[in-house]
Amino acid sequence: MVDARKASEKTELGQALTRCRRAFIGIAVFSGVINMLMLTGPLYMLQVYDRVLLSRSMSTLVALTILMGGLYMFMGLLELIRSRILIRIGNQIESDLNERTFGIWMKQGGYGALGAKSRPLDDLNAVKSFLSGPALGALFDMPWAPIFIAVIWMLHWTLGLAALIGAILIFIIAALNEYTTRKTLIESRQRLQQSRMIAEHGYRQSDALTAMGMSDNIMARWQAAYSEGASLHTSGSDRAGGYVATTKAFRMFLQSSILGLGCALAVVQIITPGTMIAGSIIMGRALAPIQMAIGQWKGFINARQSYKRLNSFYEAVPADSEILQLPEPKGQISAQQVTAAPPGTAEPVLKNVSFDLKPGQGLGVIGPSASGKSTLARLLVGVWMPQRGSIRLDGATYDQWDRTLLGPHIGYLPQNIELLDGSIKENISRFSPQAPDEEVVLAAQRAGVHEMILKMSKGYDTFIGSGGLTLSGGQIQRIALARALYGDPAFLVLDEPNANLDANGDAALTAAIAGCRERQKTVIVMTHRPSAIAAVDMLLMLNAGQVEHFGPKNEILAALQQKNKDRQQSQKTNNGTKQSART
């Protein structure tokens, strides 16, 4: 147990809990005093039956009642303080780990659908809810059950023995509850999460699904996952509910049995009537935390799984350490024998890719679909890391840069673009709270989107996103290009930047790339369309994840054209030979 505790403290979540140890000690102290004060009722009953009724002293009754009321008021105050401390423990844990967990969630966003399967923010909220709820208080009260049983034993050993046997049976029921419901509830959560993912993906692609008549098929798939999850949840909840009902009925039976056994002892004058009633009340108090813990068992299982997943997240995604601040990058890029695969997969998509670019150069990356262009784009901006080899910006790998300071010097236009809820100005300025207006306008002008924005209802203050103006794919792409150009970054990576552009957009894109090169910025463009590489001077052709050609654009294009001519000539020759053979 000691080793497990020390291992837990080494994790970030364990360290956050350790920082709250004074609060936990306070909870333990308050729980001890509260449980001691729980004896107020039995002791009051004992005194009333054994002293007041025999002496018929009203002054004694008044004094005992005032004392009882004062103790209960004090107990209520302690309960209030304990609940508030529990809430603040949960808030403190969330505050300590919020930024770290959100950072992990943001990094998972680069993994696409694979990253969306895990939701660390939900797990952190589950841990917080458990720490702030009544279940943790019940766990602090449970160690007092043996003490209450010892008090009952002091009243009479027969009552104590009955209480001990009853408590053991309750603990056995609790163990059975854990053993029989844990796996079912975990599987239920996984299936329900899968159904939620299907629903979210269907929502995002509703237009395509509706147009192609896929809605019913996706609904059937969602229904299958949801029904299985709901069925497992029902099964697990039924079992847990059965154990809760069993413990509740057994606890009431045990209280009544203690009362009956005490009555038998009182009839033969071994104990007093007050002792009989006090024993029954104390027995109920001893078993109440156990019953509450069983009732909260589903929350405990969820919190435990969330705790494990959070520790796995924190271990898999190390926190960013303090890094020596490097000079602002100039844009020199070097890829050295890069082999890489998407996170979570082992099969490389890129194999031994190497090239070098100097500031002011523009590189066009071409190749068939699934040749690794988008993977290379993510590697070049440091979203993904290579399995082997390295990508260096101004001689330093991305783990040597402070990403917060480096970010403004990188412009990235991903293949799948989603603007965030906010104004056009906020989106272009990357939501910088103190973005100069002239920098926003300059980025829009360089992207050739300034005039388009001015034609909108509120210009740069036009709200886009949920409840705002709906933009076309081309408009989104051009505003995202302005966002990539904001701050005049030293290095730009544009992945399929003209996929949704018309002729005017193509011309604006070409001008933007040419302008960046004139300002000695490095630009890399992944594309299928020739118009996107009009302003670059270098070309890299990928095929099956490997470099097939790399060099000056004109030379590569000339070589490709010659290769096509040779292929066509070869085909003509083969066709002529076949025709002659037939003749």
Give Cα 533 to chain centroid, integer Å. 39
What tokens appear for 25 in the block?
A: 């000690």
Separation of alpha carbons 535 and 61, rounded Å: 98
> What 8-state DSSP symbol labels residue 274?
H
Distance CA 284, CA 163 (A): 10
Q: Give start-end residues of each CATH 1.20.1560.10 domain in the chain.
A: 2-316
130 with 141: CB under 8 angstroms?
A: no
Which CATH code, of 1.10.10.10, 3.40.980.10, 3.40.50.300, 1.10.260.40, is assigned to 333-570?
Answer: 3.40.50.300
> Which structure tokens are listed for 582?
């037939």
> Which among 538, 313, 519, 505 has a CA at the least distance from the CA of 411?
519
**Which of 296, 284, 286, 33 has the alpha carbon at shortest distance from 144?**
286
CATH fold group of domain 2-316? ABC transporter transmembrane region fold (1.20.1560)
470: tokens are 């709906």
Between CA 100 and CA 204 the distance in angstroms is: 28
Distance CA 133, CA 299 (A): 10
Asked if 381 and 493 touch (Cβ cutoff 8 Å), the reply is yes
Spatial distance between the Cα atoms of 152 and 142, rounded to a whole number of angstroms? 16
Q: Are 409 and 491 in contact (CB under 8 A)?
A: yes
For position 1, what pLDDT does the model report? Answer: 35
Q: Where in the chain is the domain with CATH 3.40.50.300?
A: 333-570
In angstroms, the Cα distances linking 269 to 127, 163, 211, 233, 261 are 52, 21, 86, 53, 12
* 352 three-class SS: strand
Task: Determine if the pTM surpasses 0.75.
Answer: no
Per-residue pLDDT of the chain (583 residues; tens, 9 = 90+): 334 344 444 677 888 888 888 888 888 898 889 888 888 888 888 888 778 877 788 888 898 889 989 998 998 899 888 888 888 888 888 888 887 877 777 766 555 544 455 677 778 888 888 888 787 888 888 888 888 888 888 888 888 888 888 888 888 887 787 778 778 877 887 788 778 777 777 776 776 777 777 777 878 888 888 888 888 888 877 887 787 788 778 878 887 888 888 888 888 878 877 788 888 888 878 877 877 777 777 777 778 888 888 887 777 666 666 667 888 889 899 999 999 887 767 788 899 999 999 999 999 998 888 888 888 988 898 888 888 899 999 889 888 888 788 888 999 998 888 888 888 998 999 888 888 899 999 999 999 999 999 988 889 998 887 666 778 888 888 999 999 999 999 999 999 888 778 888 888 889 999 999 999 999 999 988 777 788 898 899 888 888 888 889 888 888 878 777 767 777 766 666 656 666 5
pLDDT at 318: 66
What pLDDT was estimated at residue 50? Answer: 77
Please name which of 132, 123, 128, 135 lies closest in space to residue 306, comparing C-alpha atoms. Answer: 123
Which tokens hold the place of 271? Answer: 């104990």
